[in-house]
Chain A
Amino acid sequence: MTAAVSFSGVSRHFGKVQAVDRVDLVVEPGEFFAMLGPSGSGKTTCLRLIAGFEQPDSGHIEIFGETAEGVPPYRRNVNTVFQDYALFPHFSILDNVAYGLMVKGIGKAERHRQAEEALALVKLPDYGARKPGQLSGGQRQRVALARALVNRPRVLLLDEPLGALDLKLRESMQEELKSLQRSLGITFIFVTHDQGEALSMADRVAVFNKGRIVQAGTPQEIYNRPKTRFVADFVGSSNVIDPDAMRYFGGEARCASLRPEAISLVRDGGVRAHVRSAAFLGAATRLGVTAGDVSLSVMLPAGQPVPEQGTEVGLTWAPGDVHYMDDAA
């Protein structure tokens, strides 16, 4: 099967900044794919390379088997939901959604009918007559989505789609995007710096750092088996433990990650540690402890007694829960 999008050795630099550095990437058709990374890691540039707003300095990009280099954005069967939504302020909502059909020369009645359908799909029927300025952030986001989907793209690109929404809206939009993607079967590629969002929505995640993909895999792989220290730091709430501390704990002298919920407390024995802080999270309590000079966080399931601050406790974990990884970024 042809990949929806494939990058081979793609680089793009701006002046001296290497924004994208020899990236190889394959996105399968129908996949919900997340590009995750801190700002400046090259994820947005990758998205713009797919959309056609940027051209690679070197390397090769294919979209459904067709070479993408040199093809302008308006000749790619790819649509984008922009971070600021980029709705046209002088058009009504209906004309915004119908814009892509209008420039293709589709008649007014037909394009308005299709635009109405797209608005119904994103649960905004009867909003067609309004102007973008009269809509809330969440509604504008839906319009941007409808405006892209009405063109029936083979790949939909979403640039930080939920970044501007408040928490509650973000959570409901996550589910909606996910079910929309499943029912339409379109390949979704979205860029985010929010690891929770990437892990909960995507079929596969590529973690970016300094213009390169550090690790790509399913959310479970990324979360449970981070390849490098950077991934562990960025993706998880895992404890990242230095080689020296690892040896002190009786393990191999290598960098390792250890999930807070994998640590349990014992009264006697174990690695001795002091409780520094305790935060009640509802379903669990997060303890901050120090063992020697290493700070760790421990997730204590609800129902267990929470030790007082300053108490000495013992920490144990199963050797299998320690995940060794590369120390490099």
Chain B
Amino acid sequence: MRSDTEATASLPLKIAAGAGIAFLHLPILLIFVYAFTTEEKSFQWPPPGLTLNWFSVAWNRPDVWQALSLSVKVASVATAIALLLGTLAAAAVSQTRFFGREAISLLVILPIALPGIITGIALRSAFSLADIPYSLWTIILGHGTFCVVVVYNNAVARFRRTSGSLIEASMDLGADGFQTFRHIILPNIATALLAGGMLAFALSFDEVIVTTFTGGQQATLPIWMLQELIRPRQRPVTNVVAVVVVLVTFLPILAAYYLTRDTDEIAGSGK
């Protein structure tokens, strides 16, 4: 921690910090620019000309729509599952005391700490061992492993801040378990669930590694992009899709940040 007397940084430090930030974010801008380039085979700088043509090309490509719809399906279902299971796990861990509670808490969080490649390989061997064919559901299951964690972390933080006596007060005043959940618990954890759910959706939407192992021949949007990059034809279409992906994933994360900014940390946003 710096002291208050040294609150302003020296000029070289400012330049270094600026360069660091530029290094992090300029490549993202490049992707946006290439979505409008007139040159289609290689990424040439500066772009010889600018066009909106690639947006209509991308719009008319069925493989883009297939990949997009698969990704949306996977992300929606994985998020829904995560909301249900993550909330239940968080409620159990934060509201009750039982044998092995700490261990369960750790096991729930583990998938996000574990490299995706481990999760992917583990699930792939499990699927082939159990003779489960690859399908929409194998991808959803793979994504579920880390989506649950995001919701769980957000919900558990909120549950811990919600006084346990609120639930007791509700029961004391004559509300049964369902009424207590509807009138007291849900309104108190709603924003945490919204934030967790949006993050889970964003994580699932751009996940590559686990999907590679659990998707078989199916291509979600990020995997489709990876395949497209190898093909030199109509390259800017990939960039158009990338712009869409950035918007689709960035906006929920931004919303989640603003929703929970004053309350608690968005745990697990680093994956």
Chain A nearest Cβ from B100, distance in angstroms: 15
Closest to B167 in A: A86
Tell which of A51, A89, A102 touches B172, judged by Cβ atoms closer than 8 Å.
A51
- Could you say which residues of chain A place their CB within 8 Å of the CB of B163? 84, 86
- Distance of A151 Cα from B175 Cα, bound (Å): 12
Binary CB contact string for chain B from 158 to 175 against chain A (1 if under 8 A, 0 otherwise): 000001011011111111
A-B contact pairs, 18 of them (CB 8 A): A52-B172, A53-B168, A73-B168, A74-B175, A74-B176, A82-B169, A83-B165, A86-B169, A87-B169, A88-B166, A88-B169, A88-B183, A89-B188, A99-B170, A100-B174, A103-B173, A103-B174, A103-B179
Q: Are B166 and A103 neighbours in the complex by a CB distance under 8 Å? A: no
Closest to A82 in B: B165
Binary CB contact string for chain B from 65 to 82 against chain A (1 if under 8 A, 0 otherwise): 000000000000000000
Q: Is the C-beta of A72 less than 8 angstroms from some C-beta in chain B? A: yes
Tell which of A74, A83, A90 touches B171, judged by Cβ atoms closer than 8 Å.
A74
Q: Is the C-beta of A80 less than 8 angstroms from some C-beta in chain B? A: yes
Q: Are A151 and B174 neighbours in the complex by a CB distance under 8 Å? A: yes
- Distance of A83 Cα from B164 Cα, bound (Å): 12
- Distance of A102 Cα from B169 Cα, bound (Å): 14
- Could you say which residues of chain B place their CB within 8 Å of the CB of A89? 188
Q: Is the C-beta of B187 less than 8 angstroms from some C-beta in chain A? A: yes
Q: Are A79 and B188 neighbours in the complex by a CB distance under 8 Å? A: no
Q: Are B173 and A100 neighbours in the complex by a CB distance under 8 Å? A: yes
- Distance of A119 Cα from B47 Cα, bound (Å): 72
Q: Is the C-beta of B184 less than 8 angstroms from some C-beta in chain A? A: yes
Chain A nearest Cβ from B76, distance in angstroms: 28
Q: Are A103 and B172 neighbours in the complex by a CB distance under 8 Å? A: no
Q: Are B173 and A147 neighbours in the complex by a CB distance under 8 Å? A: yes
- Could you say which residues of chain A place their CB within 8 Å of the CB of B174? 74, 100, 103-104, 151
Chain B nearest Cβ from A246, distance in angstroms: 47
Binary CB contact string for chain B from 140 to 172 against chain A (1 if under 8 A, 0 otherwise): 000000000000000000000001011011111
- Could you say which residues of chain A place their CB within 8 Å of the CB of B169? 80, 82, 86-88
From 75 to 119 in chain A, residues with beta carbon under 8 angstroms from any chain B beta carbon are 78-80, 82-84, 86-90, 99-100, 102-104
From 213 to 240 in chain A, residues with beta carbon under 8 angstroms from any chain B beta carbon are none
- Distance of A157 Cα from B191 Cα, bound (Å): 33
Q: Are B173 and A90 neighbours in the complex by a CB distance under 8 Å? A: no
- Could you say which residues of chain B place their CB within 8 Å of the CB of A102? 183
- Could you say which residues of chain A place their CB within 8 Å of the CB of B184? 88
Interface residues of B (CB under 8 A from A): 163, 165-166, 168-176, 179, 183-184, 187-188
- Distance of A102 Cα from B174 Cα, bound (Å): 9
Given A90-B187, A90-B188; A82-B173 close (CB under 8 Å): no
Task: For the A-B complex with A53-B172, A72-B171, A103-B183 known, give 14 more contacts whose Cβ atoms are closer than 8 Å.
Answer: A53-B171, A74-B176, A78-B172, A80-B168, A86-B163, A86-B168, A86-B169, A87-B169, A88-B169, A88-B183, A99-B170, A99-B175, A103-B179, A147-B173
Q: Are A74 and B172 neighbours in the complex by a CB distance under 8 Å? A: yes
- Distance of A52 Cα from B166 Cα, bound (Å): 15
Closest to A48 in B: B168
- Could you say which residues of chain B place their CB within 8 Å of the CB of A82? 165, 168-169
Q: Are B183 and A86 neighbours in the complex by a CB distance under 8 Å? A: no
Closest 5 CB pairs of A and B: A100-B173, A86-B169, A86-B165, A103-B175, A73-B171
- Distance of A216 Cα from B166 Cα, bound (Å): 32
- Distance of A167 Cα from B195 Cα, bound (Å): 43
- Distance of A73 Cα from B165 Cα, bound (Å): 13
- Distance of A255 Cα from B174 Cα, bound (Å): 49
- Distance of A147 Cα from B179 Cα, bound (Å): 17
Binary CB contact string for chain A from 123 to 158 against chain B (1 if under 8 A, 0 otherwise): 000000000000000000000000110010000000
Q: Are B166 and A86 neighbours in the complex by a CB distance under 8 Å? A: yes
- Which of B165, B169, B188 has the most C-beta atoms of chain A within 10 angstroms of its own C-beta? B169
- Distance of A72 Cα from B175 Cα, bound (Å): 10
Chain A nearest Cβ from B3, distance in angstroms: 35
- Distance of A250 Cα from B166 Cα, bound (Å): 58
- Distance of A100 Cα from B171 Cα, bound (Å): 9
- Could you say which residues of chain B place their CB within 8 Å of the CB of A78? 172
- Distance of A148 Cα from B173 Cα, bound (Å): 7
- Distance of A53 Cα from B168 Cα, bound (Å): 7
Given A53-B168, A84-B165, A86-B166; A151-B173 close (CB under 8 Å): yes
- Could you say which residues of chain A place their CB within 8 Å of the CB of B188? 89-90
Tell which of A52, A72, A79 touches B173, judged by Cβ atoms closer than 8 Å.
A79
- Which of B168, B171, B174, B188 has the most C-beta atoms of chain A within 10 angstroms of its own C-beta? B174
Tell which of B168, B173, B176, B187 touches A99, judged by Cβ atoms closer than 8 Å.
B173
Chain B nearest Cβ from A53, distance in angstroms: 6
- Distance of A73 Cα from B171 Cα, bound (Å): 6
Closest to B166 in A: A86
Chain A nearest Cβ from B182, distance in angstroms: 10
- Distance of A78 Cα from B175 Cα, bound (Å): 13
Closest to B169 in A: A86
- Distance of A52 Cα from B171 Cα, bound (Å): 9
- Which of A51, A80, A103, A151 has the most C-beta atoms of chain B within 10 angstroms of its own C-beta? A103
- Distance of A53 Cα from B184 Cα, bound (Å): 17
- Could you say which residues of chain B place their CB within 8 Å of the CB of A99? 170, 173, 175, 183
- Could you say which residues of chain A place their CB within 8 Å of the CB of B170? 88, 99, 103
Binary CB contact string for chain A from 22 to 63 against chain B (1 if under 8 A, 0 otherwise): 000000000000000000000000000001110000000000
